[in-house]
Amino acid sequence: MRDFYGVSLANPMMLGTARFPSPAVMEAAFRASGASVATVSLRREGQGGGAFRALVQRLGVPLLPNTAGCHSAAEAITTARMAREYFETDWIKLEVIGDADTLQPDPFGLLEAAETLCADGFKVFPYTTEDQVLAARLVDAGCGVLMPWGAPIGSGLGLNNIHGLRMLRAAFPDVPMVIDAGLGLPSHAARAMELGFDAILLNTAVAEADDPAAMARAFALAAQAGAAGAAAGPMTARDMAVPSTPVIGKAWL
């Protein structure tokens, strides 16, 4: 398992803490999945008071505060600095939203905020697209992790651009990458890991399931299976059939 800013994760699954029907259900989902990181929102904490912080700290995993809902670099930078002070971590999932309908990142605001936060000592996890030029600029700014989306946040569509994600992974082989957003089924998680990504981050697909704990466990198993498959060296896809039983020695009648 690749390190994330010097932290090695035992489980390639990161899980969000929003949208669950109750704190108890959220905690049960984390326990069932064994997720290695919990993403948290400063805005959510503002609504729930100190009880929410106590709950997520009780999970016993690294916290990854996010700048969810920010639509400008200035807003994201301010939120990140508040989150660092409140949650006592220099990890930040950087989101700068550029479109209200798709929740697609604003590449210009994202890069501006990343440059400022990296210079300020943050360990930035930027929520980005599969654009290789933007990825290169984020790495040059100091980002040691990239978090390309699979599909729009909360859509459950899976991996919308397999080719683009594969090319991104190949272009930056030494940069840890997390597929963030859009995963709806455990099979999507397995596919992401099979493509060589290092972890997945999801929330809605688990929180909105009929049984969030069972779904969280399913995603964790799928991610682990996909990672194991990638490490084993999968066969190359072929256009033609290849018999698994040799024809040499076959009786010809």
Among the options 93, 169, 188, 191, which is catalytic?
A: 93
pLDDT tens for residues 66-77? 999 999 999 999
Banded model confidence at residue 1, pLDDT cuts 50, 70, 90: low
Concerning whether 123 is annotated as a catalytic residue, the answer is: no
* Residue 39, SS3 per DSSP: strand
The Cα-based distances of 193 to 97, 146, 180, 182 in angstroms read: 26, 15, 12, 15
Would strands 178-180 and 199-202 be described as parallel, antiparallel, or unpaired? parallel
Which uninterrupted H or E stretch holds 180? strand 178-180
Across 19-46, average pLDDT: 87
pLDDT tens for residues 222-234? 999 999 999 999 8
State phi, psi for 88 to the nearest 5 degrees. Answer: 60, 50
Secondary structure of 67-112 in HEC code, one letter for each residue: CCCCCCHHHHHHHHHHHHHHHCCCEEEECCECCCCCCCECHHHHHH
What pLDDT, on the 0 to 100 scale, is given for residue 32?
95
The Cα-based distances of 247 to 112, 236, 240, 244 in angstroms read: 62, 22, 16, 9
Contact 181, 149 (CB under 8 A): yes
Cβ within 8 Å of residue 60, ≥6 positions away: none
Across 135-157, average pLDDT: 96
pTM tops 0.85: yes
pLDDT tens for residues 180-196? 999 999 999 999 999 99
What pLDDT, on the 0 to 100 scale, is given for residue 192?
97
The pair of structure tokens assigned to 214 is 């069972």
pLDDT tens for residues 77-135? 999 999 999 999 999 999 999 988 889 999 999 999 999 999 999 999 999 999 999 99
Q: How many CA atoms lie within 13 A of 163 on its CB side?
A: 0
* Residue 240, SS3 per DSSP: coil
Across 241-250, average pLDDT: 76
What pLDDT, on the 0 to 100 scale, is given for residue 51?
77
